[in-house]
Amino acid sequence: MTPTERRLCDAIERLTVNGVSPSYDELAQALGLASKSGINRMVTALVAQGAVTSTPAVARSLRVVPVLDVEVKRLIEANGVAAVLRAIRPHCRVHAGDYVRQAMNAVEVDDVYRAMGDHR
């Protein structure tokens, strides 16, 4: 993530009020950009990276994904669920499988439990 993309994420979080994210105009103004096209390019890149979510065809639907969740997804893609669970399990106050399932949203529940050696 570039420093400008990080500033954009900070602006989205800072300017979101009552669950309504700022408009592209408001974001451009916050970052000191002259046009919305630069914001659109950055938002598109951040969505592709998984750092921001946006509901298609819904205005003001930007949400910043917590950095830890993005990092967990990257680790799982690179190393697999089992390796990530082994690494985080000793450090989790909650059930590691629950955290990884929540962070991933795409991992099958049975895959997480199988990787942990737990059977329900």
Q: What is the pLDDT of residues 33-45, one digit of tens each?
A: 998 999 999 999 9
Nearest to 6 by CA among 63, 62, 64, 77: 64
The string of pLDDT tens digits covering residues 87-96 is 766 665 556 5
Q: What is the pLDDT of residue 88?
A: 66
Between CA 11 and CA 98 the distance in angstroms is 30
> What CA–CA distance (Å, rounded) separates 5 from 27?
11
- Condensed to tens digits (0 to 9), the pLDDT of residues 3-22 reads 898 899 999 999 998 889 99
Please give the model's pTM, rounded to 2 decimal places.
0.59
Residue 86 clears pLDDT 60, i.e. is over it = yes
Residues of the chain with CATH 1.10.10.10: 3-64
Of 68 and 51, which is predicted with more confidence? Answer: 51
CATH of domain 3-64: 1.10.10.10
